[in-house]
Amino acid sequence: MTDTQILVESVLQALVAGLFIGAIYGLMCVGLASIFGVMRVINFAQGDFMMLGMYVTYFAFVAFGAQAFGTAVGPFAAAIVAMPVMYGFGWAVHRLLISRVTGTRSAGMEAEGHYAQLILTLGVALVLQNGAMILFGAEMVSVRTPLSSAAWFVGPFGDGMALFVNQARTIAAAISLVVIVSLWLVIRRTNLGKSLRAAADNPEASIYMGIDVDRAHRVAFGLGTAITALAGGLLAANYPFHPFVGLDYVIIMYAGVVLGGIGSVPGAFWGGMTIGLVQQLSALVLPTQLQNATIFVFFLLIVILRPQGFFGRNVERT
C-alpha cells in the first residue's frame, strides 16, 4: 500500500470507530440532558446510573438473555430490559430524594436548591458506587458476546486497503439512533412531550395551566436514567466494567451536554458524537495518550468560540 492509501485507510477506520462510539456517547449525553433540560438539576450520579444499567444488563444476560436469545442478540435484548428497570429506579430516586430539593420545594432554598441538589446527587453517587462494590464485588465483568471481536469486512480496495466494522458497536449505534429518534418524537409529538417541554420552559405557568410539574419532573428523571442506563448496557458488550466505571464517563457526559448546548436534547446527542469523533480522529495526528486531553482542548475551543454550544440559545451561555 502507498502512504496515501495507508492514510486514507487509517482516517476511514478512525471515522467509523468515532461515529459508532460517538453514537453511544450521544445516547448517554441525551439521558443527562433530559434531566438537566427539564429539571435544571446537575446530576452527579448519572455515571453511576449508567453503571447500574451495565450491571442490570449483565445479570439479565446471564439469567435469561444468553439462553433465550443466544450470545449474539442476548446482550442487546438484556440492555433493552435494563431500560424499564432503570426507569423505575430513577422514578423512585426522584420520588424519595430528588423531589425534596427540586420543583416547588426548592422555592425557598438557597440558590433555588442547586447546592442541595449537588450535595444530594454526589451523595447518591457515593452510595451507589460503594453499595455496588459490596453487592457485586470489585471484579471486572463484561457481557461476553462474539460480536465484540467480530467485524464486517469491507474491501479490499486498491493494494489491500480494507475497513473493519465492529458488529457489536454497529448494532449498539443503530439502537442508540432508534432510541434518540423515538425520544425526539415523544417530546415533539405527544402530550407527555408537551408537558415535559412546558415544565422545562416555565414551571410556574405550567402549574397554572394544570400540568403536574412534579410528575413531569419524575418522568424526565426516570427517562434520563433509563436512557443513560441503556447506553451503559450497550457499552457493556465491548467494555469491561466495575462499580466505579461511572467516573470514567460522567465527565464525557457533561462535556457532551455543554458542547451540544445545555438543555438541547439533539444538541446533547451531537455533543456526544463530537466527543467520539474527536477522541478517535485525534489519534491520527497526536499521541494516543493525549486522546482524552484532546477532547477537553476541543471543548475549551468550542466554549470560547461558541459559548452557547452547538444547539444552545445565546441567552443560555455555557
Residue 154 in contact with another protein, rule: CB under 8 A? no
Residue 244 in contact with another protein, rule: CB under 8 A? yes
Count of residues that interact with another protein, criterion CB under 8 A: 39
Residue 138 in contact with another protein, rule: CB under 8 A? yes
Residue number with CB closer to another protein (88 or 156): 156
Among residues 57, 106, 166, 225, which is the contact residue for another protein, using CB under 8 A? Answer: 166
Smallest gap from Cβ 261 to another protein, in A, equals 24
Q: What per-residue string of b and e applies to 263-275 under the rule 16 or more CB within 10 Å gives b?
A: bbbbbbbbbbbbb
Residues 6+ apart with CB under 8 A from 235: 24, 50, 54, 172, 241
Cα(263)–Cα(68) distance, rounded to whole angstroms? 39
Cα(146)–Cα(111) distance, rounded to whole angstroms? 50
Among residues 97, 248, 303, 310, which is the contact residue for another protein, using CB under 8 A? Answer: 248
Q: Which H or E run contains 163?
A: strand 161-166
What is the CA 240 to chain-centroid distance, rounded? 17
Range in contact with another protein (rule: CB under 8 A) among 47-55, 97-105, 133-141, 180-188: 133-141
Residue number with CB closer to another protein (161 or 211): 161
Give the position of cell 420552559.
201
Smallest gap from Cβ 74 to another protein, in A, equals 15
Contact code string over 88-127 relative to another protein, x by CB under 8 A:
----------------------------------------
For 189, counting Cβ atoms within 10 Å of its Cβ (0-12 exposed, 13-18 middle, 19+ buried), the class is: exposed
Query: Phi and psi of 290, rounded to 5°?
Result: -95, 5
Residue 13 in contact with another protein, rule: CB under 8 A? yes
- Residue 204's alpha-carbon distances to 99, 107, 192, 209, 212, in angstroms, are 16, 11, 17, 9, 11
Taking the CA atoms of the chain, what radius of gyration do you get in angstroms? 20
Residue number with CB closer to another protein (10 or 318): 10
Residue number with CB closer to another protein (4 or 288): 288
Cα(120)–Cα(205) distance, rounded to whole angstroms? 27
Among residues 57, 106, 121, 148, which is the contact residue for another protein, using CB under 8 A? Answer: 148
Enumerate the H helices of 61-202 as residue ranges: 66-96, 114-136, 167-189, 191-201
Contact code string over 260-299 relative to another protein, x by CB under 8 A:
-------------------xx--xx--xxx-xx-------
Smallest gap from Cβ 272 to another protein, in A, equals 12
Q: Which H or E run contains 24?
A: helix 3-39
Q: Write the DSSP string, 198-214.
A: HHHH-HHHHHHTT--HH
Residue 8 in contact with another protein, rule: CB under 8 A? no
Smallest gap from Cβ 143 to another protein, in A, equals 9
Residue 240 in contact with another protein, rule: CB under 8 A? yes
Smallest gap from Cβ 243 to another protein, in A, equals 9
Binding site for another protein (CB under 8 A): 6, 9-10, 13-14, 17, 21, 130, 133, 137-142, 144, 146, 148-151, 164, 166, 238-242, 244, 248, 279-280, 283-284, 287-289, 291-292
